[in-house]
Structure 1
Amino acid sequence: MSAHPTTPPAAHTPAWWTSAVVYQIYPRSFQDSDGDGVGDLRGVLRRIDHLAELGVDVVWFSPMYRSPQDDNGYDISDYQDIDPLFGTLDDLDEVVAALHARGIKVVMDLVVNHTSDEHPWFAESRSSIDSPKRDWYWWRPARAGFAPGEPGAEPTNWESFFSGSTWELDADTGEYYLHLFSRKQPDLNWENPQVRDAVYAMMRWWLDRGIDGFRMDVINLISKATHPDGSLSDGAVAHGLFGDAGPFTMNGPRLHEFLQEMHRDVFHGRRDGLLLVGETPGATVEDGVLLTDPARAELDMVFTFEHMGLDHGPGGRFDRRPLDLRDLKATMARWQHGLESTGWNSLYWENHDQPRIVSRFGDDGAHRRDSATALATLLHLHRGTPYVYQGEELGMTNAHFAALSSYRDIESLNFASSARALGLLDEQQLVGALAFGSRDNARTPMQWDATTHAGFTTGEPWLQVNPNHVDVNAASERVDEASVFHHYRRLIALRHDDRVVRFGDFRMLLPDDPDVYAFTRSLEGTTLVVACNISGSPRSASIAELAVPGELVLGNLPGEPAIHGDVVSLRPWEAVVLRVRRSSD
């Protein structure tokens, strides 16, 4: 590897997060300390050595706030307390201190598009049409010509992300409230300055407590228009019953104004050392540039969703179609080039909402280890900040549950209920759809060892442990230098040590090759060539840069890569990173 740099590639000093790797913890599935079957903060304390050994720089926690747990904590009833399910504020302070002592920053999930319907704000809002907090949420009367509760009386025809209408009737006041997700997740009205002030005060409270930033849940939904009907969906479950809310709820007219106001009110004077990342469904590259342009003072980076929909059919996440690698290349390259001069990319395969990547884009059978490490190499060598979701560093797979009764996720259960009601899928088809697309695939307990319940809990886990934990677990991978875990360690170390990985220009190679994903990263006369065989058969590719002898920087399979002239021959799921002199063209 090259020596650690002392001079940045530009006149200014790059932000610290340009060389960082973020690790996401989904607390209820990470480590249980008290035997109740649910992960908790005391459990996190037991596993900090794992994070330190992996080498990550930031831990992002999914919500641990007080919540009825309708959507596993993304329905918050108190933003300034910890749910007893996970522990106490004192426990969190201890975890933060322990992580900081290891040089690891802490990012909290910020869920402010909506609250729980059990939040005191909403309880007050729904108490009366004349409530001082009535306008803190989106309330609307029935559609003209309809009585409240009558079919079709909803103010718009929008479909919820979790199936069904986005509008719920409140019988006591006779009006409907908006919920883009569960009916127990009413949307906050960001048009009301009192709402924004309350949110900003809460955010300052967390920063004062020592938090190092926020991952902002569906943050580009906070500005919306609530009057037009949406175009009818042709999705399998929607079946034309509901309209598309996206054009009226995503990237709304005041989004940038709100984010810039947030920046002024919350982050001014304490910007150094913080990380601000936004989850932005439906955002385009052009949106990403605006949101992450440092001069605009909004966000540091965003999560794009485009690459996560490439294996979805018309029916969405539960409608599987084979991935065309050429589509993935085109999407990734568009974001790499779009943000190369202004803005910054988030790099991710997995999170709490996405099935396991080795089961989606890889081979979770005979080639599990090799495909997991190939996909990791491909992602981490792009330009941006990589995110590792718990268990991804072990090559954890989808759950492959065989019964609908095994699922717990509200989105999955609502999908199954709607599909049954419409007669679209039989039980076997439903099991197959959930086995591919359910968010529970990412939420099975962390696989620490081969013992009962994978070392996650001494009790009965809230969600069934993946049976393959006997073979796929942290204990066995830690002692195996060829494991997925140690490959992730090497990838993280490479990003820390090699400034070409952090800052080098990106150029896609072989855009039309259906199996080989190859690209270069170049900086100041040095070029890294990355070539990954994303298939279970041997493949060869001609790459002009390889005509000059290069040095193997990293590979996921034993031995040197087979290179003859400018042709590299790759074994099934082989990924190589080579350092060569920049070509003269």
Structure 2
Amino acid sequence: MVAGDRIAPHEAWWRDAVVYEIYVRSFADGDGDGTGDLAGVRSRLDHLSDLGVDALWFTPWYLSPLADGGYDVQDYRAIDPAFGDLVEAEVLIAEAAERGIRTIVDIVPNHVSSEHPWFRAALADPSAPERALFWFRPGRGENGDLPPTEWTSSFGGPAWTRTTDPDGSPGQWYLHLFAPEQPDLDWGNPAVQREHADVLRFWFDRGVAGIRIDSAAFPAKDPALPVTIDADAHPHLDRDEVHEIYREWRAIADEYSPPRMLVGEVWLADDERFVRYLRDDEMHGAFNFEFMVTPWDAAALRSSIQRTVTAHASISASPTWALGNHDVTRAATRYGRADSSFSFDAKRFGTETDAALGLRRARAAALLAAALPGSLYIYQGDELGLPEVEDLPLHALRDPMHERSGGVDPGRDGCRIPLPWTASEPASGFGGDPWLPQPDGWSELAVDRQLADPLSTLALYRSLLRIRRAEAALHDAPLEWMPSDAHTIAFRRGDLLCLTNFGSESVALPLHHRLLISSAPLDGGRLPGDCAAWLRL
């Protein structure tokens, strides 16, 4: 019996699950070296169980040089020594399962680390067969000094890097849609396909309940490598051929009993293209980034919710909802800005925010998201109301997005600050000297301090997830919009109504039997501005 078999079978558990994202490096440090690790996660499993989550999604914990936070994988079958080892990962999966919590791991099909054995062999010898596993090409121009295409990296700058041959002469170029330390794989090569199929089985055999697929729309490329990008026939984003990859993966997932789950990181604006990833023989779900980046505005969020519900109406996959992740400015900061939407291109140092307003809105957004039909994803620390840390010293920044932007983008380190656990302990109980510095006042947000405060954000999350689990309507009832004005959103699911007030003035509650929960205390029986409530009708 593997670890995952210890959980009572529920083949469609992902349809309404609460999934908690763990960025291992910043969650908890078990050995005191300043880096989060699997021992730290194991020591905090009771926190996750008491919070009320159904599954844990681990960002890559594999052997990696950490050029991009672990998304540059050197070996999928080894845990990075900074985090632990494979035996401890298996123990963690088992201990989580004993608490009824499933495990999801991250797989990155688009690229590997430049330290991966395949790529090292390809660099060492221009005639090595491993070059066929990647996108090595001669450059353009008289001496090959221009990259093969004009494509740009998602992290900024060119998407090609030129190699140097062993004799010191300039060599071919290789493609990397992210950092140069992340060379893209050629999915037209059967060896690439076989390797990933084996990796899936490796982790499924160890009790993993599902995988999260990073940059899921990127792996397939136009083999002609056109110099410029045609949006109508994009050469490396959302190509039709990519679906063959996930059909094969779904077949592997379905070999297991109970079947394993696939959820994709699919950043696409076109709903018709988006839902193709969710056909019955592909993924079980895909992240809803439109909802995540929508500003704090009643009309905009209502439109986003309706668009999501409509897009999923004709397919068996259920929607997903999230307020943040390890890439996006934290909601408690984002919602306090004049522009409360999110865009990677717009991130800049010194953007003003109203911290109190941002937290107030983030608490309301938590109730709104948790009441919607589908699964809920929570990024570690959001249950504590953690803000984005935006004054990190420049020498401490690790994210390649900062460097590749020429220094104008603060990068993603601000949402990856090690968590505060115990207010009175050094490093707020995280352990050791944290790999990213915690700001002054971080201990005020520590778990132990919030547990002692019935009005804390942690108390709010624990209550709302407990109610969410107990309310049958929040698992199977459809969403029905209720009458509301321009400053509110109201919908019911069964006999439970969720009301969110986006205005600055309090509003009267509709006729109801009982208040189940509110994101802030009521004001004379009225719902204050920037607050949400669940009501029993």
Instruction: Pick the TM interval, shorter chain.
Output: 0.7 to 0.9
Match of 2:385 among 395, 416, 427: 395
Q: 2:378 is paired with a residue of what secondary structure?
A: strand
Question: Paired residues, what number?
Answer: 505
Change (3 A) 1:519 1:251: farther
Tell me how far 1:248 sits from its aligned partner: 2.4
Partner Cα separation in structure 2 for residue 560 and residue 529 of structure 1: 19
* AA matched with 2:475: R
Partner Cα separation in structure 2 for residue 49 and residue 558 of structure 1: 28
* AA matched with 1:169: R
Change (3 A) 1:221 1:326: same
Match of 2:241 among 254, 262, 273: 254
* AA matched with 1:552: L
Q: 2:204 is paired with a residue of what secondary structure?
A: helix
Partner Cα separation in structure 1 for residue 470 and residue 16 of structure 2: 9
Match of 2:334 among 357, 360, 364: 360
2:97 aligns with 100
Match of 2:435 among 453, 462, 477: 462
Partner Cα separation in structure 1 for residue 361 and residue 395 of structure 2: 30
Partner Cα separation in structure 2 for residue 229 and residue 539 of structure 1: 56
Match of 1:301 among 277, 285, 298: 285
Does structure 1 residue 479 correspond to structure 2 residue 465? no
Match of 2:196 among 189, 195, 199: 199
1:158 aligns with 151
1:24 aligns with 21
Conserved? CA contact 1:63–1:108, under 8 Å: yes
Partner Cα separation in structure 2 for residue 141 and residue 471 of structure 1: 56
2:340 aligns with none
Q: Deviations over 1:61-88 (max 9, x none)?
A: 1111111111111101111001111111
Partner Cα separation in structure 2 for residue 574 and residue 511 of structure 1: 15
1:70 aligns with 67
Partner Cα separation in structure 1 for residue 231 and residue 297 of structure 2: 26
Provide the alpha-carbon RMSD of the alignment.
2.5
Change (3 A) 1:384 1:190: same
Match of 1:213 among 210, 215, 218: 210
Change (3 A) 1:230 1:304: farther
Partner Cα separation in structure 1 for residue 464 and residue 177 of structure 2: 38
Change (3 A) 1:216 1:104: same
Change (3 A) 1:382 1:66: same
Change (3 A) 1:268 1:310: closer
Q: Deviations over 1:34-83 (max 9, x none)?
A: 22211111111111110111011101111111111111111011110011
* AA matched with 1:256: H
Partner Cα separation in structure 2 for residue 142 and residue 253 of structure 1: 27
* AA matched with 1:222: P
* AA matched with 2:379: Y
Partner Cα separation in structure 1 for residue 462 and residue 90 of structure 2: 27
Tell me how far 1:466 sits from its aligned partner: 2.9
5 Å matches for 1:502-541?
A: 502-508=475-481, 513=486, 515-516=487-488, 518-522=489-493, 526-534=494-502, 537-540=504-507
Please, what TM-score do these two structures have when normalized by structure 2? 0.88
Return 53-62 or 477-486, whichever deviates more: 477-486
Long gaps (5+) in structure 2: 1-9, 337-352
Match of 1:228 among 226, 229, 235: 226
Q: 1:376 is paired with a residue of what secondary structure?
A: helix
1:422 aligns with none
Does structure 1 residue 331 correspond to structure 2 residue 304? yes
1:168 aligns with 161
Tell me how far 1:512 sits from its aligned partner: 7.6
Q: 1:80 is paired with a residue of what secondary structure?
A: strand
Conserved? CA contact 1:291–1:299, under 8 Å: yes
* AA matched with 1:576: A
1:579 aligns with 536
1:415 aligns with 405
2:143 aligns with 147
Partner Cα separation in structure 2 for residue 197 and residue 470 of structure 1: 47
Tell me how far 1:106 sits from its aligned partner: 0.7
Q: Deviations over 1:536-579 (max 9, x none)?
A: x22437x9xx3x544323222235874xxxxxx43132211123
Change (3 A) 1:337 1:188: same
Match of 1:138 among 135, 138, 148: 135
Partner Cα separation in structure 2 for residue 271 and residue 263 of structure 1: 13
Tell me how far 1:221 sits from its aligned partner: 0.8
Return 499-508 or 445-454, whichever deviates more: 499-508
Q: 1:467 is paired with a residue of what secondary structure?
A: coil
Tell me how far 1:368 sits from its aligned partner: 5.7
Partner Cα separation in structure 2 for residue 259 and residue 560 of structure 1: 51
Conserved? CA contact 1:333–1:508, under 8 Å: no
Conserved? CA contact 1:38–1:85, under 8 Å: yes
Q: 1:471 is paired with a residue of what secondary structure?
A: helix
Between the aligned residues of both structures, percent identity stands at: 34
Tell me how far 1:309 sits from its aligned partner: 4.3
* AA matched with 1:260: R
Partner Cα separation in structure 2 for residue 340 and residue 201 of structure 1: 34
Long gaps (5+) in structure 1: 1-12, 232-242, 312-322, 418-429, 563-568, 581-585
Q: 2:104 is paired with a residue of what secondary structure?
A: strand
* AA matched with 2:516: V
* AA matched with 1:554: I
Q: 1:249 is paired with a residue of what secondary structure?
A: coil
2:514 aligns with 551
Partner Cα separation in structure 2 for residue 475 and residue 57 of structure 1: 22
Q: 2:217 is paired with a residue of what secondary structure?
A: helix
Q: Deviations over 1:212-232 (max 9, x none)?
A: 11111111211122522446x
Partner Cα separation in structure 2 for residue 465 and residue 497 of structure 1: 36
Q: Deviations over 1:92-149 (max 9, x none)?
A: 1221111111111111111121000110111223333432222111122112x3422x
Conserved? CA contact 1:223–1:251, under 8 Å: yes
Conserved? CA contact 2:253–2:259, under 8 Å: no
Please, what TM-score do these two structures have when normalized by structure 1? 0.81
Partner Cα separation in structure 1 for residue 394 and residue 484 of structure 2: 40
Does structure 1 residue 370 correspond to structure 2 residue 356? no
